[in-house]
A and B are shown apart, each in its own frame.
Chain A
Amino acid sequence: MSDGVVITGLGAVTPFGVGASALWDGLLEGRSALTRIARFDPSGFDCRLAGEAEGFSARDFVPKAYRKAVKVMARDIELAVGAAHDAVRDAGLSTRGQPLADGADPTYPPRRVGCHIGAGLIAADLDELTAALASGVDERGEFSLARWGDAEGGAGAMGNLTPLWLLKYLPNMLACHVTIIHDAQGPSNTITCAEASGLLSVGESMRVIERGEADACFTGGAENKVTPMGLVRMGLAGRLAATGDEADGSRVVRPYDPASAGGLLGEAGGIVVAERESTARARGARVYARLVGAGSGHAPRSDDPAVRARGLANAIRAALRNAGLEPADVGAILPHASGVPSLDAEEAEALRAVFGGSLASIPLVTLTPAIGDAMAGFGGVATAVAALCLHHRTLPARLHAGAPAEGLDAGPAPARDAAVSNALVCAGALGGQAAAIVLSSA
């Protein structure tokens, strides 16, 4: 019998604040953190609501000696660093940057700790970059590459960008800062497949532990698309609701409701600790859930949602096969549930293809009306929530201001007891990638 993989630590920074526990509490209480964007004036955009982790700064969660490095962290990186801190604390691990006691040895040798953190396309800080660009404007009022240049004939305007500017925005910097803070020297990867990134990362951690290359992995993802650029890009991609004067985001995002106005963004980092079962048990770790299956697929481009659904259906089937489970064994599903009608229809089509008529009796745990679409942050956050559902034998409250399509258990519901043995977490991404994982109760 091969050694399994278990989830032992949950970390999150979400619009509910810092901590997987803050997220869980918010979900149990049926609150929504989707409100008018506060970090910049959103009144010029069609979509003015989102979820923000107000007051969060990675400064409060890094070793003192590392505080300077926060200056070279884009918000996405900060979210990952904060979530990783939360996960380490929750797992009861000791690491270089977060020892259980002063001078305490790390729980695992650094070489045995891996890190797989999904990331998105990180938008440059507009004020910082534009200040530099403005210094490259010529006498005609036009930006001039010649002035931008730093050599003979140029005005050296590019020199107004901080030397480490590029490093703020490389997607692998989420994992890099986390590995440096916690001295994780094992396999490390950065998967960039939009909403599927987090779950693909969890699957990769599982394989790396199975292959014997690590005993523990930071795994999940983080992204902040609550930026002017994020609103524009996701708006152009048809993902966002025009919110008008609406102030309550939970009234906007209505998963699987053909009348839903669209999705809303929420920044989030979700990172869990995945651990080899034998070493986790040996150290007496609390096991939230077992990670028993992972799969992925790719959706063909098509006008027919049934064809597009093949990608997600392939991912779910592969994850179930990997877990040695049948669809009938699944007691709860945490889907992406974007609130964008065309995407939700495709997702529902994939679920119907796998679960058939029994789908109606499987509760869907939808997070988007509460925290929005976390993009690359979704997978880690949803994995943490799924683990908590199994651990507490409880499903969180479900917000829904409309009516989901028939045959789906996705309407409004209070938090409730549920003896779920196996939970499926799945997501399809802008671009067609799809991923699924299966967690089983410990």
Chain B
Amino acid sequence: MIARPVQTDAARRVVITGTGAVTPLGGDVDSTWAGLLAGRTGFAPITRFDARTFSTCFAAEADIPDLAGVFADPSPHAGAGRNTRFALAAAAQAWRQAGLGDARASADPPSTLDRSRVGIYLGSGEGILDFDTYVRTNLDGWDADARAVDTVRWARAARERMDAVREIEQESNMTLAHVAQAFGAEGPASNCLTACTASTQAIGEAAGLLSRGDADVMIAGGAHTMIHPLGVTGFIRLTALSSRRDAIESASRPFSLDRDGFVMGEGAGMLVLETLAHARARGAEPIAEIVGFGSSADAFRVTDIQPEGLGAQHAMRDALGQAGLDPRAVGDDGRPAVHYISAHGTGTRENDAIETRAVRAVFGDRADAIPMSSVKSMLGHLIAAAGAVEAIVCAKVIQTGVAPPTQNLRTPDPACDLDYVPNEPRDLNPAGGVRVALSNSFGFGGQNNTLILARFEG
């Protein structure tokens, strides 16, 4: 564990002052939160393409925002893909909540901000393949006898068919480009794509940039959708998805004995982060504080998680260390150091058992006293965007003292023996509310990231 002093300097402390989300449960944070507390699930047959013969023919689709309702002038984003539309709408919400401006009136940042000190760090996914065009082009170039693509024919077909905007918008830095443009961010800019952990990592690194003094304000978060033919195909082939075609609405069953994989979701989560000093100077109200971040690699296998969840343990321990929290300690109030955990909780056999083991390894017996739920049981898995939405969920848990449930958890699994807040939200205020929340995100290939949020207490 890293032993570092907990930040007390307002120039280095990082607070959240705005949040925004577009999810399968709603077009903003409040509707998403209401859906989570109501135990709604966003799962339904896929409408984006004909998936009727796919073993996983369902997903959690989000409504695509109409940018005319987001920006006074949406024209710069006319060619933006689905994930970018999610991102722009969510970022506009966060920007507004932070008191930095209403994009519906004018997207210009307030003149009090130095644009070179406004940065952006997203964990956004690649854009959607222009599937029909791509398939036709490939088949036009296909030489069945040679079992190879004739690149001369292919090039001709590509020239006729492919569209510049649709092709370039697939590059995974394009969502970032649109959001930076929309809100006048000209400072530090990065997009990371570490699979299912990307936006957690983006938030952690954005906080690091602020703490280092490289920016005053950062837009951080992620957007993603893989609900397209090759995205769903890829995960089906990896046997990562639930194929519960007969019970779609309850297909995602994290920590349940009968879980059979995750359900794909889509959307965006965006946060406005700033140094406490900057927030104070402009009179902004912190929603929560980011007090810890940890990152690690399993360095184990491309396909499997390290069985003891060592990488996950390292990420959690580093984040706790940065926050100055002892996971084995009992506070004066008799409670553990962490009051809520947002689990990665995908609903795959492997993840949920190993995450449970890792949490137990880090927190020991204290683990039993920490409510830990998976909102993927309702939202599905937003892939790169999952961590950002879950960080926002943690902020809501801290603000309200209520933990959302793990839905569809009807059959306990002996390998998953923690308190997952099954099926009903829980009011934690009688126990003292939630001062500290931990959010886990793990990705294919063994990427692990943990964020710790705390109630802002001046």
Seen from chain A, the residues whose Cβ lies within 8 Å of a Cβ on chain B are 40-45, 69, 72, 110-111, 115, 119-121, 126-127, 129-131, 133-134, 137, 143, 145-154, 158-159, 161-167, 170-173, 175-177, 179-180, 182-194, 196, 200, 204, 207, 210-213, 228, 231-233, 236-237, 295-301, 310-311, 314, 317-318, 322, 429-434
Contacts and interface: CB of A to CB of B under 8 A. Distances in A.
B238 A166 contact: yes
A133 B135 contact: yes
Given A191-B191, A232-B159, 7 more contacts: A130-B141, A148-B233, A158-B237, A184-B297, A193-B176, A196-B189, A301-B177
Contacts of A119: 193
B192 A143 contact: no
Contact of A228 (B57, B158, B163, B209): B158
B141 A126 contact: yes
Contacts of B201: 189
11 contacts: A115-B297, A120-B171, A149-B55, A172-B443, A191-B192, A196-B189, A207-B209, A228-B151, A236-B168, A314-B186, A430-B173
A243 to B, nearest CB: 14
B120 interface: yes
B383 to A, nearest CB: 10
A151 B245 contact: yes
A233 B168 contact: yes
Contacts of A127: 147-149
Contact of B447 (A164, A176, A237): A176
A44 B444 CA distance: 37
A297 B446 contact: no
B58 to A, nearest CB: 11
Q: When A and B form their complex, which 9 residue pairs have the shortest distance between CB atoms, in order from nearest?
A: A149-B53, A44-B155, A154-B53, A166-B234, A176-B445, A187-B295, A44-B152, A236-B164, A298-B189
Interface in B115-138: 116, 119-120, 126, 135-136, 138
Given A180-B302, A299-B186, A433-B177, A237 B233 contact: no
B187 interface: yes
Taking residues whose C-beta sits less than 8 angstroms from the other chain, chain B's interface range is: 35 or more
B296 A111 contact: yes
A23 B186 CA distance: 34
B50 A193 contact: no
Given A145-B53, A148-B233, A432-B177, A228 B155 contact: yes
A331 to B, nearest CB: 25
Contacts of A430: 168, 171, 173
Contacts of B2: 212-213
B282 interface: no
Nearest to A141: B139
A42 B154 CA distance: 10
A190 B303 contact: no
Given A179-B446, A314-B186, A184 B76 contact: no
Contacts of B155: 42, 44-45, 228, 231-232
Contacts of B208: 207, 211
B113 interface: no
B299 A184 contact: yes
Contacts of A150: 53-55, 236
A373 to B, nearest CB: 14
Nearest to A197: B173
A152 to B, nearest CB: 7
Contacts of B415: none
Contacts of B227: none
